[in-house]
Chains A and B, each alone.
Chain A
Amino acid sequence: MTTRPRVAVLDYGSGNLRSVARALARSGAEVSVTADFEAALGAQGLVVPGVGAYAACMAGLRAVRGDQVIDRRLAGSRPVLGICVGMQVLFAEGVEHGVRTQGCGQWPGTVQRLHATVLPHMGWNTVRAPAGSLLFAGIGRAERFYFVHSYAALGLPLPAGGYLRPPALTWAEHGEPFIAAVENGPLTATQFYPEKSGDAGAALLTNWLETLR
Chain B
Amino acid sequence: MTVAVRVIPCLDVDAGRVVKGVRFAELRDAGDPAELAAAYDGEGADELVFLDITASSGGRDTMYEVVGRTADQVFIPLTVGGGVRTVGDVDRLLRAGADKVSLNTAAIARPGLLAEAAHRFGSQCVVLSVDARRAPGTASGFEVTTHGGRRGTGIDAVEWAARAVDLGVGEILLNSLDADGTRSGFDLELIRAVRAAVTVPVIASGGAGELSHFAPAIGAGADAVLAASVFHFGELRIAEVKAALRVAGHPVR
Binding site for B on A (CB under 8 A): 16, 18-19, 22-23, 26, 51-53, 117-126, 128, 144, 146-150, 172-174, 195-198, 201-202
Given A120-B170, A198-B41, A144:B4 Cβ within 8 A: yes
Of A19, A125, A126, which is within 8 A of B99 by CB? A19
Which A residues are in CB contact (< 8 Å) with B71?
16, 18-19, 22
Of B3, B122, B123, B224, which is within 8 A of A125 by CB? B3
Given A18-B68, A22-B72, A23-B75, A120:B123 Cβ within 8 A: yes
Which chain A residue shows the least CB distance to B41? Answer: A198
Binding site for A on B (CB under 8 A): 1-6, 41, 46, 68, 71-73, 75-77, 94-97, 99, 121-125, 170-171, 199-201, 223-224, 253
Closest CB in chain B relative to A72 CB, distance in Å: 28
Contact B72 A16 (CB under 8 A): no
| Known interface pairs A18-B96, A173-B1, A198-B75; 6 further A-B residue pairs with C-beta atoms within 8 A, sorted by A's residue number | A22-B72, A26-B75, A51-B122, A122-B170, A123-B4, A148-B124
Given A16-B94, A22-B71, A126-B1, A118:B199 Cβ within 8 A: yes
CA distance A120 to B72 in the complex (A): 25
Contact A122 B201 (CB under 8 A): yes
Contact A118 B75 (CB under 8 A): no
CA distance A70 to B114 in the complex (A): 34
Which A residues are in CB contact (< 8 Å) with B97?
16, 18-19
The 3 nearest A-B residue pairs measured at CB? A52-B122, A173-B1, A123-B3
Given A18-B68, A19-B99, A118-B200, A174:B3 Cβ within 8 A: yes
Q: Can you identify 11 A-B contacts, CB atoms within 8 angstroms?
A: A52-B121, A119-B199, A121-B3, A122-B3, A122-B171, A123-B224, A148-B124, A150-B123, A195-B75, A196-B99, A202-B75
Which chain A residue shows the least CB distance to B124? Answer: A148
Contact B6 A119 (CB under 8 A): no
Which B residues are in CB contact (< 8 Å) with A195?
75
Majority-rule SS of B interface residues:
loop
Which chain A residue shows the least CB distance to B5? Answer: A123
CA distance A202 to B75 in the complex (A): 9
Which A residues are in CB contact (< 8 Å) with B4?
123-125, 144
Which B residues are in CB contact (< 8 Å) with A148?
77, 99, 124, 170
Contact B223 A118 (CB under 8 A): yes
Closest CB in chain A relative to B68 CB, distance in Å: 7
Contact A51 B3 (CB under 8 A): no
CA distance A147 to B1 in the complex (A): 13
Which A residues are in CB contact (< 8 Å) with B73?
22
Which A residues are in CB contact (< 8 Å) with B199?
117-119
CA distance A26 to B41 in the complex (A): 16
